Amino acid sequence: MRRDIFQAIADPTRRAILALIAVQAMTPNAIAEHFNTTRQAVSKHLKILSECQLLKQQQQGREIYYQLEIDKMKEIDQWLEQFRTIWESRFEQLDNLLDHLKNQQK
């Protein structure tokens, strides 16, 4: 089973959960209240997010609070940055080509 950050954010409910707990740590019950799906469905999403290492768990008394693992989220940005580099390289070549064509026209 694939368990990485892309699996985590592939689902709209999981993205919504991440947005919720990015603001504050929450219990599973409090998270579930924000969704029209069943508690079980939310639990399943939380399990996947845990397996993707996006959740930090904190025990407070009897309750477990979930918090966002921010460092893990940064992986997405780093990965996107790689894509940016590819485009930069492509555009630099186009700059050179345009320079060359302009010189020919003169």
Toward other proteins, which CB reaches closer, 23 or 80? Answer: 80
**SS3 label, residue 64:** strand
Cβ-proximal residues to 76 (8 Å cutoff; 6+ apart), any chain = 5, 9
Whole-number minimum distance, CB 93 to other proteins, in Å? 4
Toward other proteins, which CB reaches closer, 54 or 65? Answer: 54
Whole-number minimum distance, CB 103 to other proteins, in Å? 11
Contact 31, 42 (CB under 8 A): yes
Contact 59, 105 (CB under 8 A): no
Distance of CA 60 to the CA centre of its chain: 26
Type of residue found at 20: L
Toward other proteins, which CB reaches closer, 38 or 96? Answer: 96
Whole-number minimum distance, CB 24 to other proteins, in Å? 21
Binding site for other proteins (CB under 8 A): 6-7, 9-10, 15, 76, 78-99, 101-102
